[in-house]
Amino acid sequence: MDKKIFLCSICNINSGTCNEDCKFCSQSVRYKADIERYKQKPIERILEEAIAARDNGALGFCLVTADKGLTEKTLKFVCDVAKAVIEVAPELRLIACNGTATLEQLLVLKEAGIKAYNHNLETSEAFYPQICTTHPWSERYETCQNVNNAGMVLISGGIFGLGETQEDRVSMLASLNSLNPTSVPVNFYHHNEALELQPNPLTIDEALELIKLTRNTLPEAQRIMVAGGRELMFGARQEEIFAYGANSIVIGNYLTTAGRVMSKDLEMLASLQLDVAKKVK
C-alpha cells in the first residue's frame, strides 16, 4: 500500500437529474431533495474547480454526471470537459463517473484523455434490490468489467450505513476484490430528510472497523479512499481513518453536500506527518 495520501476532488458536471430510484441518492428526481439541479455545469466553473483542486494538492479530478449511464450527449460533454481540463491543468489525473458504460463508450472516454473510471457496486448483490429497483446490481458489476476490459484504471467501492448487514458488507467487499480495483472509495451514508432511508446507524468505531475490513479484504488495491460522508461520520475523529488503512480522501465539496475547506485537510495531513502523493503510480 502506498503510504502517501492521494487527494481526489470530485466535480458534479451535471446534477440532480437522474430518474433512477437509488434510495440513498439525493440526485434522484423522485425524492425532491433540496439540492442544486442543472443539466451541464458551465465549463468555466469546472475549470476553476479543477485549478483549485490542483492548487490544493489533488491528483485526481473526477467528472461526475447524475444519470444511470451515458447518453451520446453526455458522452460528448464529458469528453469536451476532459479536453478542456487537460489544457488548463494537465497535472490532474482525470477520472469519469458517469454510471453504467459500455466498452465502446469507455474507449471514447479513454481516447479523450480520461485515465480512470469510477463505478461503485454500492452494496451487496443480495441487498441491492432493497436500495434500487430501477436497475440491477449485475449491470454495475458488468460496467466494472468493461472498465477493466477497456484498459482503464478501475475505481470501485460502495456505501455503508444503508441498513445493510455485516454479511452484506463482507459480500460487497468480496465482489469488489474479484474486480481488482486500483482504488476503493468507501462512502458513508449522509442522510437527507427527503430520502426514505433511515439515518446511517453506524458508530464511529464501527465505521473505522469497516475501513480496516476494506483494507484487509482488498490487499492488492493501491488505495482505500474515504469519500462521501467523512466529516459527518467521523467528525473530530476523522484523522483516525489513516491508522485503519485509508490512504486517499476526497477533498473539497461532495456531489450535493459541502465538504470542509481543502486547507483544513492539508493541515490535518501535515499534523499527522502524512505526505500528499505527488504522482500516481
Give 68 or 212: the residue with its C-beta nearer to ligand SF4: 68
Q: Is 168 in the site for ligand SF4 (CB under 6 A)?
A: no
Stretch that binds ligand SF4, among 21-29, 34-42, 157-165, 259-267 (CB under 6 A): 21-29
Candidates 25-33, 49-57, 107-115, 193-201 — which segment interacts with ligand SF4 by CB under 6 A?
25-33
Is 66 a binding residue for ligand SF4 by CB under 6 A? The answer is yes
**Of 7, 10, 11, 25, which lies in the binding site for ligand SF4, with binding defined by CB under 6 A?**
25
Write down the least CB distance from residue 99 to ligand SF4, Å. 6
Is there binding between residue 11 and ligand SF4 (CB under 6 A)?
no
Minimum CB separation of residue 276 from ligand SF4 in Å reads 29
Query: Any contact of residue 63 with ligand SF4 (CB under 6 A)?
Result: no
Instruction: Report helix, strand or coil for 62.
Output: strand
* 99 is an interface residue for ligand SF4 by CB under 6 A: yes
Please, which residue, 24 or 61, has the CB nearer to ligand SF4?
24
C-alpha cell at 183: 482504488
Burial tier of 191 (Cβ tally within 10 Å: 0-12, 13-18, 19+): middle
Which of these segments, 20-28, 46-54, 174-182, 257-265, binds ligand SF4 (CB under 6 A)? 20-28
Contact indicator for 124, 175 with CB cutoff of 8 Å: yes
Q: Residue 135 CB, nearest distance to ligand SF4 (Å)? A: 7
Would you count residue 155 as binding ligand SF4 (CB under 6 A)? Answer: no
Cα separation of 162 and 159, whole Å? 7
CB of 205 to ligand SF4, least distance (A): 27
- 68 touches ligand SF4 (CB under 6 A): yes
Beta bridge partners of 125: none
Cβ atoms of residues 65 and 27 within 8 Å:
no
Q: How far apart are CB 14 and ligand SF4 at their closest, in Å?
A: 9
What minimum distance in Å lies between the beta carbon of 136 and ligand SF4? Answer: 12
97 vs 208 by CB, closer to ligand SF4: 97
Which residues have C-beta within 8 Å of that of residue 62, sequence separation ≥ 6? Answer: 8, 9, 10, 11, 94, 95, 96, 97, 118
Point out which residues bind ligand SF4 (CB under 6 A): 18, 20, 22, 25, 27-28, 66, 68, 99
